[in-house]
Amino acid sequence: MARAIKERFVSLRAKRQEQEFQISGKCLKTKLPRRLTLNSSVLTQSALKYADRVESIILTLFEKTSAELVGDVLDSGVWLSGGSALIDGLTEELSRKLKLQVRLAQAPLLSVIQGSGQVISNPELLRMCRVIHRFTPSVGLNLTR
């Protein structure tokens, strides 16, 4: 349901018309069925905060990355993956903020697990990576060089 709502109602593009919609499910607090009416503008504000967080993480990674590797990013751009990468207008918003080309991975829903599988199955790649011991729920586990 969350994915369908994100695809249908969340957009960072200015021309998107505001919409109201209902969702239903179980309230985690009371454990009872509940129906809520939401407005797409609330979701857009949340998506803008998410874009700010992603921008902040990218800038932090640039600070900790060698100049040569950051130079490569100028050529290849930043690639987004995962389900949240599918937020309408996210690549454009981040490109505008970072003044870099931001692209969507070819298979954003699969690329994280496929890349992780390649790293885990290749000892050389695994040695090149270190896991940051901080989990950011809205962004996920970060693997950096």
Tens of pLDDT along 117-130?
Answer: 988 898 888 887 76
More confident residue, 17 or 96: 96
- pLDDT of residue 18 exceeding 50, the answer is yes
Q: How many CB atoms lie within 10 A of CB 95?
A: 15
Q: Tokens representing 53? A: 């967080």
Residues 6+ apart with CB under 8 A from 13: 88, 89, 92
Residue 130 is predicted with a pLDDT of 65
Number of folded domains that form the chain: 1
- Pairing mode, if any, of strands 78-80 and 102-104? parallel
- Cα–Cα dist 122/139, whole Å: 25
> For residue range 54-94, what is the model confidence (pLDDT) as tens digits?
999 999 989 988 888 888 888 899 999 988 899 999 999 99
Residue 85 belongs to a domain with what CATH number? Answer: 3.30.420.40
Instruction: Report the percent of the chain where pLDDT is more than 90.
Output: 37
What value, to the nearest 5°, has the Cα angle with vertex 56 and ends 100 and 70? 45
Amino acid letter for position 126: L
Domain range enclosing 106: 2-144
Q: Are 16 and 40 in contact, with CB atoms under 8 Å apart?
A: yes
Q: Tokens representing 95? A: 């490109």
Q: What is the mean pLDDT of residues 92-111?
A: 94
